[in-house]
Amino acid sequence: MTGLHEDRYFDPDPVVRQHARVLYDQSRALPIISPHGHVDPAILASNDAFQDPASLMITPDHYILRMLYSRGVPLESLGVAPIDGKPPHAERDPRKIWQTFADHWQLFRATPTRAWLEYELREVFGIQRELDSASAPLVYDAIVERLQSPEFRPRALFKRFNIEVLATTDAASDTLEHHKTLRNVELGGRVIPTLRPDALFRIAAPGWSAEVARLEHAGGGTIGSCAELVRALARRRADFKAMGATATDHAIVIPRTERLKDSEAERLFTKAGQRAATEDDQARFEAHLLMEMARLSVDDGLVMQLHAGSLRDHNELVHRRFGADRGGDIPVATEFTRNLRPLLNAYGNDTRFQLIVFTLDESTYSRELAPLASHYPAMLLGAPWWFHDSIEGLTRFRRQTTETAGIGNTAGFTDDTRAFCSIPARHDLARRVDANYLGGLVARHVIDMAEASEMAKALAYDLARRAYRLT
């Protein structure tokens, strides 16, 4: 497997490559800080063996689903169950799913999915055979064999992956039972929750009232007003913090921020209760709640993450039939300078507050985000997100942000993954790409090796720990 050459992702120039090797050797074995991701904590709480290669690596991976779907492969054949109950039904044989995937493996050439999966196959599962249509059954069997052994149980992998902190992403109404379980388990590292209350802000969505009810049930108390909603969220923030959380996370299409008058916020809340809130009402309510979340952050110290600019469920047919997170989310151009101004003016000069901003619009790196993060004490740049968590994407991020913001205004790497076994693959790729970036700077005499060594360690470890207050 070519992709696992020991010098992979390094520039071929001998000087850069030599520097990159040295720097990567210094960062490769550092513990993994994974401060933002979507691993299900139940995996670790139960410690059940993973079922099979398809349900582990194919069916839940929206990168794989989108690529195969784009080339005409039905989602059903990849084991994705229609939620509308209509035929055709989802393929249930994991061998067939795996074969379908292997038959299309070449689509992933030069993509990060290919790099991650090759790492998983070889480094995590010890498979030497190259994947293709012919080898698919053999590779399948080999993985199945591994999955049945105790060394491949989730907790054993957690230790082997050398994870120091793994943060999950959890709804505001989550009971955190798995996290409670995990607090009493020796993992060699922490698993902590992250509060993501988005659903409670979406007052124009059909499920909003149900979400509010869930929050009430989860200990938020009666919620009959916006003020009570905010109080309930404050209580849940405290609950999450008690379970180890250091951060909240907020996903929005347009990162608008605006403090509404109390009366106006209450009017919108009431309208939502009557299922009468419009999209514009929701945008204003979200803008207001982001201000409230920032205000609470100043007090409780929870880091505020903002993931802006993904238009969810662009493909209505796929969304109706298969639900969310099936590869149908598409980025939009995103404006930060004007949108974040109210929030940054209110809280951005306060060092008790920490805001980490993620974008899918790379044109904002050098134009808006690096300038903002290199001025406001409270703001940091989040790692390249999603489509941009790749060799070229990570490189563009460094090249377009470092000269303005330095590395000191960035928040380290976040793998953002649902796929537990991809965690070491993603961190390895990022550490390689950063080592290569730094090696290039040394080769061009922009920094020296002593500086590059410190920076390589910071990018792999220190910055994420500091940014997410994990010390």
Region 365-384 residues binding its own copies, contact defined as CB under 8 A = 366-368, 370-377, 379
**Residue number, 167 or 391, with CB nearest to its own copies:** 391
The closest of 151, 38, 64 to 326, measured between CA atoms, is 64
> 442-461: which residues touch its own copies (CB under 8 A)?
443-448, 451, 454-455
Establish how many alpha carbons lie within 13 A of residue 353's alpha carbon, considering only the half-sphere containing its beta carbon.
23
375 phi and psi, to 5 degrees? -120, -50
Closest-CA residue to 187 (of 218, 152, 158, 146): 158
Select 242 or 317, whichever has its Cβ closest to its own copies: 317
Find the shortest distance in angstroms from Cβ 72 to its own copies: 5
198 CB neighbour count, 10 Å cutoff: 17
Residue 337 contacts its own copies per CB under 8 A: yes
Neighbouring C-alpha atoms within 13 Å toward the C-beta of 98: 22
Paired tokens of 382:
């989040």
Chain-centroid distance of CA 225 in Å reads 31
Of the candidate residues 128, 222, 274, 351, the single one contacting its own copies (CB under 8 A): 351
Tokens 């979200």 correspond to 286
Q: State the minimum distance, in angstroms, from the CB of residue 57 to its own copies.
A: 18
Instruction: Please give the residues from 126 up to 155 whose contact with its own copies meets the rule CB under 8 A.
Output: none
- Of the two residues 74 and 221, which places its CB atom closer to its own copies in the complex? 74
Q: Which residue has the tokens 């991809």?
A: 422
* Token digits of residue 347: 């809280």
Task: Rank residues 158 and 347 by Cβ distance to its own copies and give the closer one.
Answer: 347
Residues 383-412 binding its own copies (CB under 8 A) are 387-388, 390-393, 399-400, 402-409
- Minimum CB separation of residue 73 from its own copies in Å reads 9
Q: Closest CB to its own copies among 196 and 321?
A: 321
In angstroms, what is the minimal distance from the CB of 261 to its own copies?
20
Site for its own copies in 3-32 (CB under 8 A): 3-5, 7-13, 15-16
> In the complex with its own copies, which residue's Cβ is closer, 109 or 261?
109
Nearer to its own copies, 72 or 206 (CB): 72
Site for its own copies in 73-112 (CB under 8 A): 106-112
What six digits make up the tokens of 295?
């205000």
Find residue 33's DSSP bridge partners. 165
Cα 227 to Cα 6, 216, 292: the distances in Å are: 56, 14, 10
H helices present in 30-176, as ranges: 41-46, 53, 62-70, 94-103, 112-119, 136-147, 154-160
Stretch 30-69: interaction string toward its own copies, x if CB under 8 A: ------------------------------------xx-x
CB 134 within 8 A of CB 151: no
Contact window for its own copies (CB under 8 A) among 81-89, 140-148, 410-418, 438-446: 438-446
Among residues 364, 225, 244, 231, the alpha carbon closest in space to that of 302 is found at 244
Q: How far is the CB of 323 from its own copies (least distance, A)?
A: 15
Q: Which is nearer to its own copies, 210 or 333 (CB)?
A: 333
The residue within the footprint of its own copies, chosen from 315, 323, 418, 453 (CB under 8 A), is 315
By the 8 A CB rule, do 466 and 409 touch? no
Strands 330-331 and 247-252 turn out to be unpaired
Please, what is the angle between helix 14-27 and helix 449-457, to 10°?
Answer: 40
Least Cβ distance, residue 313 to its own copies (angstroms): 11
